[in-house]
């Protein structure tokens, strides 16, 4: 006697697929969040040829609180003689404002750092462009290694992008905890996912 085949229930198949996707996304965000926070807490800048201060907003011609936090870390590294040059990065964010890089340089000079030690990269609009253009300046000035100065939650992705661009680097993260840490962490997870999708070969190589 022939037993009739059971018809596949398409709804059950869809539910299994959705559960698999939810599990994969949960595992990704959980694991990546751990990597981001671990990198934040364990990174430290090593003696290098230059620092690269990654861009952040300018408010009314002055560094925003976030940008000032990065600049103060760079000043401390300078005083510790961790690097002999500094690259400030970032173009014009808001109309009528000076570039992020020029605003950084002005602040650093006010803190006693010689203007001649500061290279300005003022054409970039993203972290990737910050680093891409900084790499060109490093090549022009025979600078081989860099300390990346950024916020802790941003350290993992910044280091990953530097690796993708062939910049030997360490990271000195701002250790201040932002009010919306969960938001910034999840945003960084999304940023890493974007790199994995848009440039899978180099991004995967950078992770390993």
Q: pLDDT per residue over 124-134, tens digit each?
A: 999 999 999 99
Residue 22 pLDDT > 90, yes or no? no
Computed over every residue of the chain, the mean pLDDT equals 93
Residue 5 pLDDT > 80, yes or no? no
73's tokens: 């870390």
Residue 1 pLDDT > 60, yes or no? no
Mean pLDDT for 172-188 is 92
Residue 3 pLDDT > 60, yes or no? no
Segment 55-96, tens digit of pLDDT: 999 999 999 999 999 999 999 999 999 999 999 999 998 788
50's tokens: 């230059």
- Please answer whether residues 161 and 169 qualify as being in contact, where contact means their C-beta atoms are separated by less than 8 angstroms: no
Give residue 157's pLDDT.
Answer: 97
- Closest to 122 in 3D by CA, of 88, 94, 72: 88
Give residue 9's pLDDT.
Answer: 72
């Amino acid at each position: 006697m022939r037993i009739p085949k059971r018809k596949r229930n398409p709804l059950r198949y869809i539910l299994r697929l959705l559960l698999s996707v939810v599990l994969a996304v949960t595992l990704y965000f959980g694991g990546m969040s751990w990597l981001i926070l671990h990198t934040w807490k364990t990174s430290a800048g090593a003696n290098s040829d230059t620092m690269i201060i990654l861009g952040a907003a300018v408010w009314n011609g002055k560094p925003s609180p976030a940008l000032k936090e990065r600049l103060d870390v760079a000043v401390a590294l300078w005083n510790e003689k961790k690097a002999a040059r500094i690259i400030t990065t970032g173009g014009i964010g808001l109309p009528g404002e000076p570039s992020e890089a020029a605003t950084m340089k002005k602040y650093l000079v006010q803190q006693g750092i010689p203007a001649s030690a500061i290279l300005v990269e003022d054409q970039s609009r993203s972290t990737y462009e910050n680093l891409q253009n900084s790499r060109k300046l490093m090549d022009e000035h025979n600078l081989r290694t860099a300390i990346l100065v950024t916020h802790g939650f941003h350290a993992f992705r910044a280091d990953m992008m530097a690796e993708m661009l062939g910049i030997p680097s360490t990271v000195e993260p701002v250790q201040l905890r932002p009010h919306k840490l969960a938001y910034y962490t999840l945003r960084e997870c999304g940023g890493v996912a974007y790199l994995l999708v848009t440039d899978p070969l180099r991004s995967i190589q950078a992770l390993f």
